[in-house]
Amino acid sequence: MKLWKSTAAVLALTLGASAAQAELSGELRIFSDMSNPAPRAVMEGMVADFGAMHPDLDIELTIIDREAYKTQIRNFLTADAPDVANWYAANRMRPYVDAGLFEDISDLWAEPEIADALASTKGAMTLDGAQWGVPYTYYQWGVYYREDIYNQYGLEEPTDWETFKSNCQTLLDNGVKCFTIGTKYLWTAGGWFDYLNMRTNGYDFHMQLTSGEIEWTDERVRQTFANWRELIDMGAFVDNHQSYSWQEALPFMVNGEAAAYLMGNFAVAPLREAGLNTDQLDFYQFPTITDGIALAEDAPTDTFHIPSGAQNKEAAREFLRFVVSADNQTKINAGDALGQLPVNSNSSVDDDEMLNQGFAMLSSNAPGGIAQFFDRDAPAEMASVAMEGFQEFMVFPDNLDDILNRMESTRKRINEQ
């Protein structure tokens, strides 16, 4: 198997370190999909820093183009496993957990330094009651809104469903759409389903549904769609959203034709670049729908794993400890690096309003749970069929019965495989 290696792919690091740090030896092979310039620099920097702490350890870093990595991972985990490999959390881990290709590292998660500081991400790393990797970065989802428009109409950040809808009606009465969205590529509608379902039925129900344990025709799922339909029937969303990508939907918010966007934090930079300043743009957590249900969040998480076929598992475990340490998390998620959120609650974040709000929300959110986004939490075939259904529902809500029946047929077929 041929693997593309970065120009800095093989790093034999012999920098000085204290004797107490020199206990690791041999070779540590790391495969990474962090091939874009900024993530690649972060990955190479982490390896250099870790190598400086362990001068008797030879570290070989192989960086593979992200899309190629997705097609190669099963082959290299099976045929010539590295000691550490990048991947993704939650259901995206399952094929490799079920195949016995990822190492159970529940022992690391039992260590207080990890158990306490990474509590909010434990659920995302857990399958079948065990932990199979560690996170190294994530980012928040939530409602990004035009604070100046809310102020103009005397609206407050909503914390409950009735206020959420009341705000929406006020905006509509004044000729402003409540939400922009572009569903041309389907996944944005998945974000709306995630939040509506987690707020209606809770995190555990949502995870059982996405894993195929609950029927799509269940009355509790229908209640989620009933809540969604309240917004659709109001006219809350921009017209013809099925014609726009998520980027093409940004101008509606920038121009003031829509007041908010349910989206990931990656939308902030283009909104700012389009001219929205700090007095115009703000963020709030998606509000409560069903009282008593803890607030779970979407926070897609990138991860490190130890393949079961690794040769130097001692060094691999030490590398994972280093990756999630507070200082390293602060460094690699800084704005001039990944520009995302540290997974360690003892880390700090850049002085950015949105990042700080997201960090506070996610770091304190262990009871509610962290979901990975619909197309990561559900099997690929289920995600494809369901997200097509979500988009169709937003345009033709009267088609709900047909949509749910198609989704349920897909769930049954997948479960029978």
* Distance from C-alpha of 311 to C-alpha of 298, rounded to nearest angstrom: 35
Please give the chain's pLDDT, 417 residues, in tens. Answer: 333 333 333 333 333 333 334 489 999 999 999 998 989 999 999 999 999 999 999 999 999 998 899 999 999 999 999 999 999 998 889 999 999 999 999 999 999 999 999 988 998 899 999 999 999 999 999 999 999 999 999 999 999 999 999 999 999 999 999 999 999 999 999 999 999 999 999 999 999 999 999 999 999 999 999 999 999 999 999 999 999 999 999 999 999 999 999 999 999 989 999 999 989 999 999 999 999 999 999 999 999 999 999 999 999 999 999 999 999 999 999 888 888 999 999 999 988 889 899 988 988 755 588 899 999 999 889 999 999 999 999 999 999 999 999 999 999 999 998
pLDDT at 367: 59
3-class DSSP state for residue 135?
strand
Strand partners, 177: 258
pLDDT at 123: 87
Q: Quick one: which H or E segment has residue 106?
A: helix 106-109
* Distance from C-alpha of 113 to C-alpha of 141, rounded to nearest angstrom: 26
Domains of the chain are: 10-139+302-367 (3.40.190.10), 141-298+379-416 (3.40.190.10)
- Are 230 and 224 in contact, with CB atoms under 8 Å apart? no
pLDDT at 368: 84
* Distance from C-alpha of 103 to C-alpha of 308, rounded to nearest angstrom: 5
- Are 317 and 108 in contact, with CB atoms under 8 Å apart? yes
Backbone angles phi, psi at 252, to 5 degrees: -60, -40
- Are 85 and 304 in contact, with CB atoms under 8 Å apart? yes
Give buried/exposed letters for 19-40 (b at 16+ CB in 10 A, else e): eeeeebeeebbbbbbbbeeebb
Q: Report residue 180 CA to chain centroid gap.
A: 21
pLDDT at 5: 37
Quickly list DSSP for 52-74: HH-TTEEEEEEE--HHHHHHHHH
| Both structure tokens of 50 | 């870790």
Strand partners, 127: 130
Residue 85, by phi and psi: left (phi above 0), alpha (psi -120 to 50) or beta? beta
Backbone angles phi, psi at 46, to 5 degrees: -60, -45
Q: Are strands 141-146 and 281-284 parallel, antiparallel or unpaired?
A: antiparallel
